[in-house]
Structure 1
Amino acid sequence: MRFRAVLAILCLLGPTGCTFSQSTRQKVPLPAPFVLGIVDSVWSATLHETRILNIYLPAGYSPDSAKRYPVIYLLDGGADEDFVHIVGLVKYNTTPWIDRFPESIVVGIANVNRRRDFTFGVANLDFVARAGFKPGQFSAYGGSASFMAFIEKELQPFIAGRYATTAAKTIIGESLGGLLATEILLKKPTLFDTYIILSPSLWWGQEALLTQAPALLKMHAQKRSVYIGAGARSESEIMYADAKALADALTTYGAQTTTVIFDYLPDETHATMIHQGVYNAFKLLYPIKK
């Protein structure tokens, strides 16, 4: 009886009281797409190809607004690569109740040939067996100089001209992507303010970048924030040692104002590194102020 009385009162209040549930169901067009970002592209005269970009824009983003956003550039940023995982971490850490760092645009650079784009030229491939590869697996390699030129002269100006960005830029690279991020850090450090380098393949070229690091760091000393994540030593002692050597070189020879964080993740493998490593990087680079 009490339920009937309440229902009668709701109906007396007007038609919305009795039809709210039904009208709400009718107004929501379900099922509907769940949109995480947009797909853009840029023609590269340097690479002689069109590159697909997966772009995440923060909620409320408007090109007509005066608000501007930092940009996080993600290597291996295809829809079937790391883009979805990193966007989730960015969205989570920039929610109002966490507010670890400002809302940011994420630019995922989809791959065409990562082994070509992320490696520098070498005299031969005798060393690749040490990392568990066969020379035939690198049918194309040595294109990192062209890819860095693409980032500097084409991609970054394209993003700055097309989207509402600030000058702040971060790069995230893992494995061979970590090798490229390291090469940028050592040779063209001004391209980014923050470097998140995960399980970098510094074995490439028989650790040539590590050998060159002291001289390059003295030549290009810049204020930067660098996170270096290394996975389980039990999986690869070489990759752990190389990542640690990079952190040590940055601490010893880098600018005194450079922030260097070395993070050992013994429970993560090379394959599982990306998600936990980037989460740790955000947490350590941007501690929440209490």
Structure 2
Amino acid sequence: MKNRTYLFLSFTIALIFSLSGRAAAQDLPGKRDSINSVILNEKRVIQVILPDGYKAGSATKYDVLYIIDDWNIKLGRDIQHFIFDEHTMPPMIIVGLLNVDRDRDFLPTHNNGNKTSGGADKFLKFFKEELIPYIDKTYPSDGDNTLFGHSFGGVFVTYALLNEPQLFSNYIAGDPSYWWDNGVMLKQVKEKLPSLAGKEKALYIGGREGRGMKEMKINAMDSLLKKVRRQVLNGW
């Protein structure tokens, strides 16, 4: 993370997105683009919002915020505008992915109650091998990436951190559904997080206070993260 301003941005996005309403796809700001994914065997539509004042041909490069769930794209832009206007962060590119099948793309395991669930591995591979290289080639990206996801998307954010930590500098989970599949992400965090020690990655988690946070198992994840941190610092 380049400076402390991103800490403020990250917490703001995580806390507000979790309570956001949906915006119609036709009302989204920015440029509509698409990529034909071999990995997902489908065309994926993306919304790219370049910084205000960007001039074609300029040598200036920008950090990129990837937002999964199309209804969070407009709010993400509005929050970024607000913080930028307060002179507390630099401009950045926002890349929003329009939804196709949230259960399939965001969830790492299959459950019969969600028939298409369990394709997060392919969705993450799509990011690594197709989407991020396309953005870096087509737009003025500096290669410093942040990933935001809400609810099931927050599960995917955590999955991405554990399995491809080099793809993003910052991982933001808004009201993540850590209850999914009997708390499978808590088990994966316990197993895999210690291997990330020293990689200087940031995970931010925001959620509803009280009962909602407990039902989403965010409290349980918070306790686990603190426990793993203590174990790592103490050398197990």
Please state which band the TM-score falls in when normalised by the shorter chain.
0.7 to 0.9
- The answer to whether structure 1 residue 248 and structure 2 residue 223 are counterparts is yes
Cα distance in 2 for partners of 1:176, 1:105 equals: 23
- TM-score normalized with structure 2 length: 0.80
Per-residue deviation, 1:208: 1.2
Per-residue deviation, 1:153: 0.7
- The answer to whether structure 1 residue 82 and structure 2 residue 78 are counterparts is no
1:94 maps to which of 84, 87, 105: 84
Structure 1 unaligned segments of length 5 or more: list them: 1-33, 126-134, 258-290
Aligned to 1:234: 211
User: Which amino acid is the alignment partner of residue 102 of structure 2?
Assistant: R
Per-residue deviation, 1:232: 3.0
- The answer to whether structure 1 residue 104 and structure 2 residue 71 are counterparts is no
3-state SS, counterpart of residue 182 of structure 2:
coil
Cα distance in 1 for partners of 2:231, 2:60 equals: 33
Distance 1:68 1:111, change over 3 A: same
Work out whether residues 106 and 155 of structure 2, in 8 Å CA contact, stay in contact via their aligned partners in 1.
yes
User: Which amino acid is the alignment partner of residue 51 of structure 2?
Assistant: P
- The answer to whether structure 1 residue 120 and structure 2 residue 96 are counterparts is no
- The answer to whether structure 1 residue 62 and structure 2 residue 55 are counterparts is yes
Cα distance in 2 for partners of 1:256, 1:55 equals: 41
- TM-score normalized with structure 1 length: 0.66
Cα distance in 2 for partners of 1:156, 1:254 equals: 30
Cα distance in 2 for partners of 1:236, 1:190 equals: 29
Larger radius of gyration: 1
User: Could you say which structure has the greater relative contact order, defined with CA pairs below 8 angstroms and 6 or more residues apart?
Assistant: 2
Work out whether residues 174 and 197 of structure 1, in 8 Å CA contact, stay in contact via their aligned partners in 2.
yes
Aligned to 1:24: none
Aligned to 1:223: 200
Cα distance in 1 for partners of 2:103, 2:221 equals: 21
Work out whether residues 28 and 74 of structure 2, in 8 Å CA contact, stay in contact via their aligned partners in 1.
no
Cα distance in 2 for partners of 1:227, 1:100 equals: 18
Aligned to 1:73: 66
Work out whether residues 64 and 93 of structure 2, in 8 Å CA contact, stay in contact via their aligned partners in 1.
yes
Per-residue deviation, 1:219: 2.1
Cα distance in 2 for partners of 1:234, 1:253 equals: 24
User: Which amino acid is the alignment partner of residue 143 of structure 1?
Assistant: G
Aligned to 1:181: 157
Per-residue deviation, 1:245: 2.8
Work out whether residues 207 and 213 of structure 2, in 8 Å CA contact, stay in contact via their aligned partners in 1.
no
Structure 2 unaligned segments of length 5 or more: list them: 1-26
User: Which amino acid is the alignment partner of residue 247 of structure 1?
Assistant: D
User: Which amino acid is the alignment partner of residue 97 of structure 2?
Assistant: I
User: Would you say how many aligned residue pairs link Structure 1 and Structure 2?
Assistant: 205
Work out whether residues 187 and 220 of structure 1, in 8 Å CA contact, stay in contact via their aligned partners in 2.
no
Aligned to 1:286: none
Cα deviation, 1:125-176, whole Å, max 9, x if unaligned, reads: 4xxxxxxxxx2xx231111000000011100000000001112111111100
- Report sequence identity in percent: 32
After TM superposition, what 4+ stretches of structure 1 lie above 6 angstroms from structure 2?
Answer: none
Work out whether residues 35 and 43 of structure 2, in 8 Å CA contact, stay in contact via their aligned partners in 1.
yes
Distance 1:216 1:38, change over 3 A: same
Cα distance in 2 for partners of 1:234, 1:216 equals: 28
Cα distance in 1 for partners of 2:66, 2:230 equals: 23
